Every structure is written in C-alpha cells, then in structure tokens.
Amino acid sequence: MYTMSSDDFSVHQQDCDEAGSGIPITSLPDEVTSLDDLPCSCWDEVDSFDELD
C-alpha cells in the first residue's frame, strides 16, 4: 500500500509523514515509471524500482 498526497498528488510510502492525510492506493500510478518520479525521502530505502509493484 502507498499513499497519494491530496496536496500535490505525490506518491509516498504508506507510513510517510510527508503524505499527510493522503489517499491510500494499492499500486503505483501509471505515471510513475522510475524512482526518479518518487523524489520523497521515504523512498530512499528502496534500492530498485523493480522491488515495487
């Protein structure tokens, strides 16, 4: 599960503080094609985009 911020529609890990009161989503949006599309620090622990669904 991930969280999409309702402020700027950025996608975060579910437990990210930056996401605030975001919208829970079960998979990444089609627009997200690489870790470069996930600039928040909550993704720093992710080594490879292939690890994500």
Which residues contribute to the site for Zn ion (CB under 5 A)? 12, 16, 18, 40, 42
Distance from chain centroid for Cα 28: 7
* Nearest CB to Zn ion, comparing residues 8 and 50: 8
From the CB of 50, what's the least distance to Zn ion, in Å? Answer: 20
CB 31 within 8 A of CB 38: no
Write the CA distances from 33 to 2, 16, 21, integer angstroms: 15, 20, 24
From the CB of 13, what's the least distance to Zn ion, in Å? Answer: 6
* Nearest CB to Zn ion, comparing residues 18 and 37: 18
